[in-house]
Homo-oligomer: A and B are copies of this chain.
Amino acid sequence: MAQKPSIPKGTRDFSPVEMAKRNYIFQTIREVYALYGFQQIETPAMENLSTLMGKYGEEGDKLLFKILNSGDFLHGITPDEVATTSTLKLAARFCEKGLRYDLTVPFARYVVQHRDELTLPFKRYQVQPVWRADRPQKGRYREFYQFDGDVVGSDSLLNEVELMQIVDTVFRRFGVRVCIKINNRKILTGIAEVIGAADKIVDITVAIDKLDKIGLDNVNAELREAGLSETQVEQLQPIIRLSGSNQEKLATMREVLRESETGLRGIEETEFILSRLGSLACDTAATNPTAGAATAVLANPIELDLTLARGLNYYTGAIFEVKALDVQIGSITGGGRYDNLTGIFGMPGLSGVGISFGVDRIFDVLNALDAYPKEAVSTTQLLFVNFGEREADYCLQALRSVREAGIRAELYPDAAKMKKQMSYANAKQIPFVALVGESEMADHKITLKNMQTGDQQSVTVDELINTLNA
Contact = CB atoms under 8 A, between A and B. Distances in A.
Interface of A: 1-8, 11-16, 19-20, 23, 34-37, 39-48, 50-51, 62-63, 65-68, 70-74, 79-80, 82-83, 87, 90-91, 94-97, 99, 109-110, 112-114, 117, 119, 121, 123-124, 129, 131, 133, 142-143, 151, 154-156, 158-159, 161-162, 276, 297, 345-347, 379-380, 383, 386, 392-393, 396, 400, 403, 406-411, 413-414, 423-424, 427-428
Contacts of A119: 423-424, 427-428
Contacts of A133: 70
A129 B45 contact: yes
A154 B414 CA distance: 7
A408 B400 CA distance: 35
28 contacts: A1-B347, A2-B345, A4-B113, A6-B48, A6-B113, A8-B44, A13-B110, A13-B113, A23-B40, A35-B406, A36-B410, A37-B408, A37-B409, A65-B67, A65-B70, A68-B91, A68-B95, A70-B133, A74-B82, A74-B87, A79-B79, A119-B423, A121-B424, A151-B413, A158-B396, A161-B396, A276-B393, A276-B396
**Copies of this chain in the oligomer:** 2
**Most chain B CB within a 10 A radius of its CB, from A42, A68, A403:** A68
A40 B16 contact: yes
Contacts of A109: 5, 7
Residue with the greatest number of chain B CB neighbours at <10 A, chosen from A5, A131, A143: A5
Given A19-B40, A68-B68, A161-B396, A46 B408 contact: no
B1 A13 contact: no
Instruction: With a 10 A CB-CB cut-off, give which of A90, A131, A161, A396 has the most chain B CB atoms.
Output: A396
Given A19-B41, A79-B83, A414 B156 contact: yes
A47 B8 contact: yes
A87 B45 CA distance: 25
A147 B73 CA distance: 32
Contacts of A16: 39-41, 124
Q: What 5 pairs between A and B have smallest CB-CB spacing?
A: A2-B346, A16-B39, A11-B44, A37-B410, A156-B413
A383 B50 CA distance: 39
A108 to B, nearest CB: 9
A448 to B, nearest CB: 17
Given A7-B109, A67-B68, 8 more contacts: A36-B403, A46-B143, A62-B70, A66-B67, A68-B91, A154-B413, A162-B413, A297-B396
Contacts of A11: 44-46
A419 to B, nearest CB: 13
A408 B34 contact: yes
B36 A392 contact: no
Nearest to A126: B19
A243 to B, nearest CB: 29
A4 B44 contact: no
A36 B400 CA distance: 10
A347 B2 CA distance: 8
